[in-house]
Structure 1
Amino acid sequence: MNSSVRFCDNCGATNRPDAKFCYACGQPQISYATTNTVTGLLTSAYELKQRYHILQKLGQGGFGAIYKAADLLFNDTPRAVKEMGMRGLDEQETKEAIVAFRNEATLLANLSHPNLPRIYDHFEERGRWYLVMDYIEGETLEKRLEMAPGGYLPLKEVVELGIQLCTVLGYLHSHQPPIIFRDLKPDNVMLTPDGQVYLIDFGIARFFKPGQTKDTMSLGTPGYAAPEQYGRMQTTIRSDIYSLGATLYQMISGIHPGLTPFLQQPLELDASQPANVALEKLVMQMLELKEQQRPQDAMIVKQELQSVQQMLQSASIKRIVQPMQAAVQSSPVTTTSQATMLLTTLAPRPSIIVDQHGGGNYSSLSEAIQQAEAGSFIFLREGLYKESIILDKPVEIIANGPRDRIILESDDTHCVVMQTTTATLRGLTIHCPAGPTGKTSYAINITEGELFIENCDISSASSSCIAIRNANTNPTIRYCTIHDSANHGITIAQNARATIEYCDIFHHPRAGIHITSGADPVLRHCNIYNSERYGLLINEQGRGTFEDCDIHHHGYAAATISTQSNPLLLRCQLHDNQKYGIEVLQEGQGSYQDCEIAGSGIDNVSISTGSTPYYYLCRIHDAQQHGVKVSDNGLGILEYCDISTSQQANVAITSGGNPQFQRSTIHKGLDYGIAVFEGGHGTIERCTLAANAKGAFSIEPGSNVILKQNVL
């Protein structure tokens, strides 16, 4: 946290360190010792609000602590006291933390249900916030699973807990507007000794807002949070259905869903038992990546769990390990009408085996697709399949062996063409060799639908590895290696969307990712490196959201943004590129927040030719020339940035450049802090300039810079 500012305890706004009142909300600004913002320091016998006598600390995490306390006004009744502090939070994080705390207090105060703790009080004291609620004797479901042999529970117990969780979710979802919990996981479920379930920690719950297309922030726990919680969509009650499905999956299998988010394999249950088959199909339906394919609401899930419960009462359950194929075989016919009805609703999907050597149903993948029913699993055994496939029906193609020994290759056209609404490729090597001269072939060509690609090795000696085009196209690409193309790693164009996560993208002659003509993908946790020109090339009104990506060692720039393109980069690392970290030119735009931009061969940030980017909370350092250079009528705003250790001026403004620097720290440069020359302009406001070798400013005659309230 910057010691030159302070954050208001009431609203989180930034104030001067000597402010007596908050300029935003007018509340008095109280001074605290530094350690008073640390949580978890309350000792036994400490009294909060002269009412809550601390008995012991129950736990502590990154955002606060929780205590057991005696309520002196109610005969020492035990209470749980949740404590939240602000230490280490910046301005925006402080605002969000206070909003989340008040949201939790407001939500709980208006709820009354046997599976929810009651709230008794909430208040602020000495810079920390407190929420007082029921003390629940028992343990979390997380702890129960940790202590259970194998990490899983008996199926009868799983179903009983699931029914209780459906009951409380149904209560929350029945409100108008519905309350979406958004963080259902074993650690937020308390179990009492008599088997009662309590849902705890409403810190990120929110109301569903009809007509709103996305949430204002993406939160949740990896493995339990639904895919839409990470994208630009609004969470709905089906987001909680996904989280409940992930929790049930863990209780049944003992496998933590966070190990491989969105990649749950079929459960290993005895398929001869109708209850097992019905339960597995229900859980896997709850874990569908597409929101509309999950059960509609918690009451439907509850009814199906109750049906499973009745079947379990009259059958012995045996857990065995089986091959993957067993999970998709047809189940035995049951004599009970109830089981027949449920299994009809959740019917198993057919499976096909493709084996070049004659050991399967087909030796050709194309023939298998042609003959497959919609929704089939196609298991592909080891071999080099020299063919081009057209995905014209919903199928899942799954490698049945090591990825590097199951190869799909086409010499004269695209290896894979997507021509259906949905399909899956999993665990394949897909390579497009150099084809006829002048012909462009992609390893995967996606012009419609939602193709799900995971754990594939993809390359092309003909053109880009993957081409994604058209507005009705929205694939998901996860855990893939995308390398050694003849053009770009992935080309996304013509208003297409995509979600690309946890991929390695490298060795491309042009760009790792090319976004153009209105395309708007989402990339998260990708490693994009060693292309001859660009990590990201975004032009012609391209957009895109990039979160937690590492973009480095490119021959020209980590990212080049032009022609009214407007991406969003959050928490990305852009470093060690031969010329630029981020180059914005030709009226390019974009928002770059909490990024590290470092070690560029020329300038870390280059803004020119009418461009208007926005940089916030970025760390910009160790450029061979300038940390930030604004030229040729470039504009832009840089707020709360740290710009340091450039070989030349940390900031250079020239040739009509006219940026705004606000509340930034510009320091430790080996030249000037800010150099303005050749008709440069700009506004430098409330910035700190320190320890620059030649001084804070060099402003040549003819340049016009506005300086306001800077610290030198």
Structure 2
Amino acid sequence: MYSKPLSVGNDSSTIRIVSVLAEYPGVYPTISAALSASLDGDTILIEPGTYCESLLIDKAVSLVGNGACGDIVLESYNQPCLSLSSTGIHIECLTVRCRINMQAELYGAVNVTQGVVEIVNCDLSSASYACLMLAGPTTRVVMRHSIVHDSSGYGVFVGTVAQCLLEQCTFSNNMYAEVMAVQNSEVILQACILCHGKGYGVLVAECSHGCLSNCDIYKNAQAGIAVCQDSVAEISTCKVHDGKASGVTFSQNAHGIMEHCDVYANCSSAVEIKQNSNPVIRACKIYKGKWSGIFIGDRSGGIIEDCEILNNTLAGIEVTWESDPTIRHCRIHYHGRGIAVFQRGRGTVKDCDLRNNSQSSVLVEAGSQLAQERNSD
């Protein structure tokens, strides 16, 4: 259960046991009491029970639940459960929940303001602004194998040049976004599940950087992945599906690359490229959307290559409002129209298979133009 070695033979570190029973000498009745006695490198081993505490940790200690995660509960009211500001803090096997009986303040159940922090095998929920909130240029959080859910704001909020790595975590039922990165921050998600959110799956904004790989993102109320406001994203081998809006959106001068992804069965366009955005969409399968497969508008561009786009309700690719993408080596089939270009849209289509669209392979409205080379239609 415990993933870090205990240095019981090292005189410089100590294991301190906390129990709500506190029946034995040397056992602390509260986590706060054990923290007060701890030094850098110590481990606080927490026995099953519910601990109603708000902890400020500014030393390199480990808090480890001694049992099943659901049996060791750290709970706070109207303030963070954990406020962390040191490198070397390790949190493992705890249920952390923040409750409020007043209007939500701008804090998380776990707040990290500086240092490198590791969170493993935890369950985080919060009635406040976020389950996990981190900010600051020296702040880096690694969270693995954890569940993050039911926040009144964000599951994870990464701000002010902070960095966050999320591995094999599950996010669900958070209000605004399961994961958000803003203010020149960076978030990396690997093999995560993000589902049933009341807002976005992943939102990367304000000149931030997002990197997603092997994630399953589904049934969110807004876009499964949204990249906006001069941000950049690298998205690979992800599934984005069954959302109530678009699957993936690039907007407001967003850039990046999406490759080897499946985007399907979303209620709007599978991929939206808007407002001067210019990503690369490569080797993706885009299908069964209830709008167009890829919508490109508002003077956007982009490169669409080596993709299979099929069975979307409207066009395979729709280009509008002076946009100018390059589309090459794609198979675009089983739509009403393979490619539709409207409202002074432009584009270049090369070496594409545009057969088996019921109305036409290409529709170009008057005032728009489309350069075509070596296509099958």
TM bucket (normalised to shorter chain) is over 0.9
* Structure 1 match to 2:350: 685
Matches within 5 A, 1:104-253: none
Of 340, 359, 371, which residue of structure 2 is paired with 1:675? Answer: 340
Structure of greater relative contact order (alpha carbons < 8 Å, 6+ residues apart): 2
- For the residues of structure 2 that align with 1:537 and 1:384, how far apart are their CA atoms? 34
Deviation digits for residues 359-392 of structure 1 (CA, Å, limit 9, x no counterpart)? 3521111121111121011100111111111111
Of 495, 498, 501, which residue of structure 1 is paired with 2:167? Answer: 501
Q: Which amino acid aligns with 2:21?
A: H
* Structure 2 match to 1:600: 266
Of 697, 701, 704, which residue of structure 1 is paired with 2:369? Answer: 704
* Structure 2 match to 1:349: 13
Is 1:412 aligned to 2:91, yes or no?
A: no
In the TM superposition, residue 347 of structure 1 has moved relative to its aligned partner by: 5.8
Q: Which amino acid aligns with 2:323?
A: G
- For the residues of structure 2 that align with 1:422 and 1:348, how far apart are their CA atoms? 15
In the TM superposition, residue 495 of structure 1 has moved relative to its aligned partner by: 1.1
Of 53, 57, 65, which residue of structure 2 is paired with 1:391? Answer: 57
With normalisation by structure 2, the TM-score equals: 0.96
- For the residues of structure 2 that align with 1:689 and 1:347, how far apart are their CA atoms? 72
In the TM superposition, residue 622 of structure 1 has moved relative to its aligned partner by: 0.7
Q: Is the 8 A contact 2:107 2:133 kept in 1?
A: no
- For the residues of structure 2 that align with 1:435 and 1:446, how far apart are their CA atoms? 23
- For the residues of structure 1 that align with 2:128 and 2:100, how far apart are their CA atoms? 4
Deviation digits for residues 28-73 of structure 1 (CA, Å, limit 9, x no counterpart)? xxxxxxxxxxxxxxxxxxxxxxxxxxxxxxxxxxxxxxxxxxxxxx
* Structure 2 match to 1:437: 103
Of 124, 127, 130, which residue of structure 2 is paired with 1:464? Answer: 130
- For the residues of structure 2 that align with 1:357 and 1:609, how far apart are their CA atoms? 60
In the TM superposition, residue 586 of structure 1 has moved relative to its aligned partner by: 1.3
Q: Which amino acid aligns with 1:329?
A: V
Q: Is the 8 A contact 1:432 1:441 kept in 2?
A: no
In the TM superposition, residue 265 of structure 1 has moved relative to its aligned partner by: 5.5
Q: Is the 8 A contact 2:104 2:128 kept in 1?
A: no
In the TM superposition, residue 585 of structure 1 has moved relative to its aligned partner by: 1.3
- For the residues of structure 2 that align with 1:656 and 1:440, how far apart are their CA atoms? 41
Q: Which amino acid aligns with 2:19?
A: D
Q: Which structure has the highest helix share of the two?
A: 1
SS for the counterpart of 1:601 is: coil
Describe the shift of the 1:347–1:706 C-alpha distance in structure 2 as closer, same or farther (beyond 3 A): farther
In the TM superposition, residue 264 of structure 1 has moved relative to its aligned partner by: 4.5
- For the residues of structure 2 that align with 1:500 and 1:522, how far apart are their CA atoms? 6
- For the residues of structure 2 that align with 1:347 and 1:498, how far apart are their CA atoms? 33
- For the residues of structure 2 that align with 1:555 and 1:397, how far apart are their CA atoms? 35
SS for the counterpart of 1:489 is: strand
* Structure 2 match to 1:559: 225
* Structure 2 match to 1:534: 200
- For the residues of structure 1 that align with 2:175 and 2:54, how far apart are their CA atoms? 25
* Structure 2 match to 1:585: 251
- For the residues of structure 2 that align with 1:390 and 1:679, how far apart are their CA atoms? 58
Is 1:329 aligned to 2:24, yes or no?
A: no
Deviation digits for residues 218-244 of structure 1 (CA, Å, limit 9, x no counterpart)? xxxxxxxxxxxxxxxxxxxxxxxxxxx
Unpaired runs of at least 5, structure 1: 1-259, 267-326, 331-345
Q: Which amino acid aligns with 1:694?
A: Q
* Structure 1 match to 2:239: 573
Q: Is the 8 A contact 2:217 2:224 kept in 1?
A: yes
* Structure 1 match to 2:291: 625
Q: Is the 8 A contact 1:453 1:478 kept in 2?
A: yes
In the TM superposition, residue 598 of structure 1 has moved relative to its aligned partner by: 0.8
In the TM superposition, residue 328 of structure 1 has moved relative to its aligned partner by: 4.2
Q: Which amino acid aligns with 2:172?
A: F
- For the residues of structure 2 that align with 1:437 and 1:597, how far apart are their CA atoms? 38
* Structure 1 match to 2:46: 380
Q: Which amino acid aligns with 2:211?
A: T
In the TM superposition, residue 686 of structure 1 has moved relative to its aligned partner by: 1.5
In the TM superposition, residue 412 of structure 1 has moved relative to its aligned partner by: 2.2
- For the residues of structure 2 that align with 1:481 and 1:523, how far apart are their CA atoms? 14
* Structure 2 match to 1:455: 121
Deviation digits for residues 479-501 of structure 1 (CA, Å, limit 9, x no counterpart)? 00000000010001111111110
- For the residues of structure 1 that align with 2:371 and 2:358, how far apart are their CA atoms? 22
- For the residues of structure 2 that align with 1:356 and 1:703, how far apart are their CA atoms? 72
Describe the shift of the 1:449–1:512 C-alpha distance in structure 2 as closer, same or farther (beyond 3 A): same
- For the residues of structure 2 that align with 1:631 and 1:329, how far apart are their CA atoms? 62
* Structure 1 match to 2:147: 481
* Structure 1 match to 2:29: 363
- For the residues of structure 1 that align with 2:149 and 2:240, how far apart are their CA atoms? 19
Q: Which amino acid aligns with 1:596?
A: D
Q: Is the 8 A contact 2:205 2:228 kept in 1?
A: yes
- Structure with higher Rg: it is 1
**Percentage identity across paired residues of the two chains:** 27
Equivalent residues, number: 375
SS for the counterpart of 2:224 is: strand
Q: Which amino acid aligns with 1:454?
A: V
Q: Is the 8 A contact 1:614 1:638 kept in 2?
A: yes
Q: Which structure has the highest strand share of the two?
A: 2
- For the residues of structure 2 that align with 1:411 and 1:264, how far apart are their CA atoms? 29
Unpaired runs of at least 5, structure 2: none
Deviation digits for residues 92-141 of structure 1 (CA, Å, limit 9, x no counterpart)? xxxxxxxxxxxxxxxxxxxxxxxxxxxxxxxxxxxxxxxxxxxxxxxxxx
- For the residues of structure 1 that align with 2:180 and 2:90, how far apart are their CA atoms? 23
SS for the counterpart of 2:354 is: strand
Q: Is the 8 A contact 1:663 1:686 kept in 2?
A: yes
* Structure 2 match to 1:695: 360
In the TM superposition, residue 526 of structure 1 has moved relative to its aligned partner by: 0.3
Please tell me the root mean square deviation across aligned C-alpha atoms, in Å: 1.5
Q: Which amino acid aligns with 1:469?
A: A
In the TM superposition, residue 423 of structure 1 has moved relative to its aligned partner by: 0.6
- For the residues of structure 2 that align with 1:348 and 1:689, how far apart are their CA atoms? 70
In the TM superposition, residue 601 of structure 1 has moved relative to its aligned partner by: 0.5
* Structure 1 match to 2:188: 522
Q: Is the 8 A contact 1:413 1:435 kept in 2?
A: no
In the TM superposition, residue 420 of structure 1 has moved relative to its aligned partner by: 1.0
SS for the counterpart of 1:590 is: strand
* Structure 2 match to 1:512: 178
In the TM superposition, residue 695 of structure 1 has moved relative to its aligned partner by: 2.2
Deviation digits for residues 132-164 of structure 1 (CA, Å, limit 9, x no counterpart)? xxxxxxxxxxxxxxxxxxxxxxxxxxxxxxxxx
Q: Which amino acid aligns with 2:20?
A: Q
- For the residues of structure 1 that align with 2:87 and 2:216, how far apart are their CA atoms? 32
Q: Is the 8 A contact 1:412 1:441 kept in 2?
A: no
Q: Is the 8 A contact 1:409 1:430 kept in 2?
A: yes
SS for the counterpart of 1:681 is: coil
SS for the counterpart of 1:467 is: strand
Q: Which amino acid aligns with 2:15?
A: S
* Structure 2 match to 1:143: none
* Structure 1 match to 2:300: 634
With normalisation by structure 1, the TM-score equals: 0.51
Deviation digits for residues 313-343 of structure 1 (CA, Å, limit 9, x no counterpart)? xxxxxxxxxxxxxx5433xxxxxxxxxxxxx
